[in-house]
Amino acid sequence: MSRRIAIANQKGGVGKTTTAINLGASLAAAGRRVLIVDTDPQGNAASGLGIFERDSKPTVLDALLNRADLEETIRPTDSECLFISPSVPEMIGLERDLLNAKDAPYRLSKAVNRLSDFDFVLFDCPPSLGILTLNALLAAQSILIPVQAEYYALEGLTQLLRAVEYVQKRLGHPLEIEGFLLTMGDSRTRLAADVEAEVRRHFKDKVYRTVIPRNVRLSEAPSRGMPVIEYALASKGAQSYIALARELMLQPAGVR
Ligand SMILES: Nc1ncnc2c1ncn2[C@@H]1O[C@H](COP(=O)(O)OP(=O)(O)O)[C@@H](O)[C@H]1O
Ligand SMILES: [Mg+2]
Instruction: Tell me the percentage of the chain whose pLDDT exceeds 90.
Output: 84
* Lowest mean per-residue pLDDT among 32-36, 42-46, 136-140, 151-155: 151-155
- When pLDDT is averaged across residues 139-166 and rounded to a whole number, the result is 92
Task: Compute, in angstroms, the gap from residue 214 CA to the centroid of ligand 1.
Answer: 9
Compute CA distances 194 → 160, 188, 248, whole Å: 21, 11, 25
For ligand 1, say whether the CB of 127 is within 6 Å of any of its atoms: yes
How far apart, in whole angstroms, are the C-alpha atoms of residue 46 and residue 84? 7
Cα dist from 165 to 127, 155, 179, whole Å: 18, 16, 15
Largest Cα–Cα separation, the chain: 52
- Residue of the CA atom closest to atom 27 of ligand 1: 219
The pLDDT assigned to 254 comes to: 52
Q: Is 219 in the pocket of ligand 1 (CB under 6 A)?
A: yes
Q: Is residue 49's pLDDT more than 80?
A: yes
6: nearest Cα among 163, 170, 162, 133: 133
Atom 11 of ligand 1, residue of closest alpha carbon: 219
pLDDT band, residue 53 (cuts 50/70/90): confident
Residue ranges of the domains in the chain? 3-250
Residue-level pLDDT at 181: 97
Measure 35 CA to ligand 1 centroid, in angstroms: 20
DSSP-assigned letters across all residues of 54-105: --SS--HHHHHTTSS-GGGG-EE-SSTTEEEE---GGGGGHHHHTTT-TTGG
Amino acid at 122: L
CA–CA separation, 134 vs 142, rounded Å?
13
By C-alpha distance, which of 47, 64, 67, 147 is closest to 106?
64
Average confidence (pLDDT) over 60-83: 96
Q: Using CA atoms, how far apart are residues 149 and 197, in angstroms rounded to an integer?
A: 10
pLDDT of residue 5: 98
Rounded to the nearest angstrom, the distance between the alpha carbon of 47 and the centre of ligand 2 is 11
| pLDDT above 60: residue 252 | yes
* Residue 42 to residue 127: CA distance in whole angstroms: 10
Between residues 53 and 122, which one has the greater pLDDT? 122
Distance between CA atoms of residues 252 and 99, nearest Å: 37
The atom of ligand 1 lying closest to the CA of 21 is 17
CATH annotation of 3-250:
3.40.50.300
Question: What is the tens place of the pLDDT at every residue in 13-26?
Answer: 999 999 999 999 99
Q: Ligand 2 mean position to 12 CA, how many Å? A: 7
The dihedral of CA 187, 188, 192, 198: what is its sign? positive
The pLDDT value given to residue 226:
97
What residues are paired with 4 via a beta bridge?
Answer: 121
pLDDT at 256 over 50: no
Query: If DSSP codes are grouped into helix, strand and coil, which group holds residue 205?
Result: helix
Q: Is 11 in the pocket of ligand 1 (CB under 6 A)?
A: no
Rounded Cα–Cα distance for residues 208 and 155 (Å): 19
